[in-house]
């Protein structure tokens, strides 16, 4: 459909560079390694790549701690390699979205080095508070455990870090900080990129005075740093001074922990702050206790309610993103599907789901293969600062005797599950590296890898290619109005999409058990044809759906 932004009709593929493909045998993925695989992305059929950070970084948080925004970290290559990647992607009509991490920098960034020395104008680039070295200025928690404050002996003051202590929060109240960020964004836009994924961008405005948070909150202080008082002012100013100055359509996706549909409506769309879309997290926490580490039972009815709210809430004047997986979440087939007996069927069902909703689908590297969570025998196998802190804190607080007491939680939701090397082949290290991988390869790589899935006609990879084609070829799947059916059914997720005369009916049996459901009589079915299914089905649509475990079907009007 001409005139609409390209990103509404795109499928985006997320690459976590450290784990994608290593060409210099240092056990770490690199940019030449991505260049080597651009034809793979083209074969899959994706329209854009979201590249997690490749900037200079001490790697405290795998690159989400940036020490130079205008330099590529040596472990990934250099700006010339990056330029070649951009050219190779653009040659194949694949766009490049870069990760923008500006809620915080690394503590090794020049700005912070000068700030801790009290050097103007950098002295006010971060949140510094004088005070008793034993008592943090307020009770806020870090996302990574512990206090959100660290005491700096050089400046003899506390500084705020919502994440690791090596990730000091930038003081966005300071116009000089905002100007420096916008200059950097324009520097990348001038290099021809097609958009930004904006890391925790709704955390950049904090309540004036940084008051204590509700001590009983899940993440203490969150009400004072999520969707803060000046966030719209900053978003509008940022978009106005960067994105809007470029004469090509730029996609922005804000990563916005704690965002509601109402917040999102203010962030996205013409009448909002001008973001293209946001990543929301409500569906990722279904069944959780008061933290991700005590993940409970998946509840499909709640999951359906969340998606109905977002699908209808942003349909009119906004746009959705749709994802089930990324570098911070467990592997989707392990979290939302069945990574054992029904791995193939459930991975295809999840792909069917993400490619038939309103909103841009995001495929995380390996999701198109049905890559699974990994086993982690000991804390020594972990690399993620969030996971390691969690284990150490649980033992220190007496909540666990040793690692084995928290191993199940780690293997269920630790971020390292999503960061094991991309599985290219059954060769050593899954063909990811000729060196020692920085993080272990998941044991099942001999069975789950690109080489084997490329060969087999009904692999998850081939099914994803068909899904992407199906979405590209049917505007009803992109723009159609969403309507949920069987809202209270505990294992069937069924919905229709309607665009003018075109209709789609999607029926998913999100369970290990066969089930039979009547077709709702408000769905005309005589003009529907089966367009794709993840298992053999009796074609045609009769009065009942007899669904096998993890059955996924898409019916379209001819």
61 binds ligand TEU (CB under 6 A): yes
- Where does residue 216 fall: left (phi above 0), alpha (psi -120 to 50 degrees), or beta otherwise? alpha
Could you please report the per-residue DSSP string of 20-77?
T--SSSSSS--HHHHHTTHHHHHHHT-SEEEE---EE---TTTTSS-SEEEEE-TTT-
Q: Which of 223, 184, 220 is nearest to 202 (CA)?
A: 223
Q: Which is nearer to ligand TEU, 279 or 463 (CB)?
A: 279
- Where does residue 308 fall: left (phi above 0), alpha (psi -120 to 50 degrees), or beta otherwise? alpha
163 binds ligand TEU (CB under 6 A): yes
Task: Give least dist CB 61 to ligand TEU, A.
Answer: 5
Q: How far is CA 325 from the centre of its chain?
A: 6
Nearest-angstrom CA–CA distance, 408 and 376: 9
Q: Is 247 a catalytic residue?
A: no
200 binds ligand TEU (CB under 6 A): yes
Q: Which is nearer to ligand TEU, 14 or 496 (CB)?
A: 14
Q: Is 255 a catalytic residue?
A: yes
Task: Give least dist CB 170 to ligand TEU, A.
Answer: 12
Q: Which is nearer to ligand TEU, 96 or 478 (CB)?
A: 96
Q: Which of 314, 318, 311, 233 is nearest to 268 (CA)?
A: 318
Number of residues that bind ligand TEU (CB under 6 A): 14
Could you please report the per-residue DSSP string of 65-105?
S-SEEEEE-TTT--HHHHHHHHHHHHHTT-EEEEEE--SB-
292 binds ligand TEU (CB under 6 A): yes
In the bound state, the residue with its beta carbon closest to ligand TEU is: 64
Q: Which of residues 374-393 bind ligand TEU (CB under 6 A)?
A: 386
Task: Give least dist CB 368 to ligand TEU, A.
Answer: 20
Token representation of residue 343: 């791995």
The pattern of x and - marking residues 494 through 533 that bind ligand TEU according to CB under 6 A reads ----------------------------------------
143 binds ligand TEU (CB under 6 A): yes
Candidates 72, 89, 98, 101; binder of ligand TEU (CB under 6 A) is 101
199 binds ligand TEU (CB under 6 A): yes
Nearest-angstrom CA–CA distance, 396 and 388: 12
Q: Which is nearer to ligand TEU, 60 or 250 (CB)?
A: 60
Q: Which of residues 17-36 bind ligand TEU (CB under 6 A)?
A: none
Catalytic residue among 81, 255, 263, 483: 255
64 binds ligand TEU (CB under 6 A): yes
Hey, how many other C-beta atoms are within 10 angstroms of the C-beta on 436? 11
453 binds ligand TEU (CB under 6 A): no
Q: Which is nearer to ligand TEU, 222 or 505 (CB)?
A: 222
Q: Which residues contact 282 (CB under 8 A, 6 or more apart)?
A: 306, 309, 310
String of b and e for 144-183 (b: at least 16 CB within 10 Å)?
A: bbbbbbbbbeebebbbbbbbbbbbbbbbbebeebbebbbe
The pattern of x and - marking residues 314 through 353 that bind ligand TEU according to CB under 6 A reads -------------xx-------------------------
Hey, how many other C-beta atoms are within 10 angstroms of the C-beta on 309? 16
Task: Give least dist CB 384 to ligand TEU, A.
Answer: 8
Q: Which is nearer to ligand TEU, 51 or 528 (CB)?
A: 51
Token representation of residue 314: 């942003």
> Biggest alpha carbon distance in the chain?
74
257 binds ligand TEU (CB under 6 A): yes
Q: Which of 207, 220, 274, 212 is nearest to 243 (CA)?
A: 274
Q: Which of residues 397-416 bind ligand TEU (CB under 6 A)?
A: 415
Contact call for residues 126 and 169 (beta carbons, < 8 A): yes
Residues that bind ligand TEU (CB under 6 A): 61, 64, 101, 143, 163, 199-200, 255, 257, 292, 327-328, 386, 415
Catalytic sites, residue numbers:
199, 255
């Amino acid at each position: 459909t001409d005139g609409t932004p390209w990103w509404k009709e795109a499928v985006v593929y997320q690459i976590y560079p450290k784990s994608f493909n290593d060409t210099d045998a240092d056990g770490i993925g690199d940019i030449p390694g991505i260049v080597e695989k651009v034809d793979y992305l083209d074969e899959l059929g994706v329209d854009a790549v979201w590249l997690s950070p490749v900037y200079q970084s001490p790697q405290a948080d795998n690159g989400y701690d940036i020490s130079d925004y205008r330099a590529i970290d040596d472990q990934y290559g250099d700006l010339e390699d990056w330029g070649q990647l951009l050219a190779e992607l653009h040659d194949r009509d694949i766009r490049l979205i870069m990760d923008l991490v500006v809620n915080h920098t690394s503590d090794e960034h020049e700005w912070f080095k000068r700030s801790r020395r009290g050097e103007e104008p950098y002295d006010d680039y971060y949140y510094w508070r004088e005070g008793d070295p034993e008592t943090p200025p307020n009770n806020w928690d870090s996302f990574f455990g512990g206090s959100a404050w660290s005491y700096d002996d050089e400046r003899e003051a506390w500084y705020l870090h919502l994440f690791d202590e090596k990730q000091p929060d930038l003081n966005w109240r300071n116009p000089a900080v905002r100007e420096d960020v916008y200059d950097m964004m324009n520097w990348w836009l001038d290099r021809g990129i097609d958009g930004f994924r904006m890391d925790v961008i709704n955390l950049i405005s904090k309540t004036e005075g940084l008051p204590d948070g509700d001590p009983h909150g899940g993440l203490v202080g969150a009400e004072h740093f999520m969707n803060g008082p000046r966030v719209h002012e900053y978003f509008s100013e940022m978009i106005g001074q960067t994105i809007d100055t470029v004469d090509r359509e730029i996609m922005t996706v804000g990563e916005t922990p704690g965002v509601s549909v109402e917040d999102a409506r203010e962030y996205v769309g013409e009448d909002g702050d001008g973001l293209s879309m946001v990543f929301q997290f409500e569906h990722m926490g279904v069944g959780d206790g008061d933290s991700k580490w005590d993940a409970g039972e998946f509840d499909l009815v709640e999951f359906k309610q969340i998606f109905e709210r977002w699908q209808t809430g942003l349909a009119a004047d906004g746009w959705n993103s749709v994802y089930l997986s990324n570098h911070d979440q467990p592997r989707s087939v392990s979290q939302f599907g069945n990574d054992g007996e029904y791995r193939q069927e459930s991975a295809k069902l999840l792909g069917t789901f993400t490619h038939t909703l309103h909103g841009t689908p995001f495929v995380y590297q390996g999701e198109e293969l049905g890559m699974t969570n990994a086993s982690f025998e000991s804390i020594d196998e972990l690399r993620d600062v969030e996971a390691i802190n969690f284990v150490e804190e649980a033992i220190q607080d007496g909540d666990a005797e040793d690692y084995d007491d928290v191993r199940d939680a780690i293997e269920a939701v630790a971020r390292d599950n999503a960061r094991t090397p991309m599985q290219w082949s059954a060769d050593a290290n899954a063909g990811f590296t000729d060196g020692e991988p920085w993080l272990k390869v998941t044991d099942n790589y001999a069975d789950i890898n690109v080489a084997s899935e490329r060969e087999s006609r009904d692999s998850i990879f081939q099914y994803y290619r068909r899904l992407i084609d199906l979405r590209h070829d049917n505007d009803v799947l992109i723009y159609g109005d969403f309507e949920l059916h069987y809202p209270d059914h505990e294992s069937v997720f069924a919905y229709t999409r309607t665009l003018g005369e075109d209709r789609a009916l999607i029926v998913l049996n999100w369970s290990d058990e066969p089930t039979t459901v009547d077709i709702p009589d408000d769905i005309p079915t005589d003009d529907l044809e089966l367009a794709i299914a993840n298992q053999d089905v009796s074609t045609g649509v009769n009065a009942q759906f007899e669904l096998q475990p993890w059955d996924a079907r898409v019916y379209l009007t001819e």
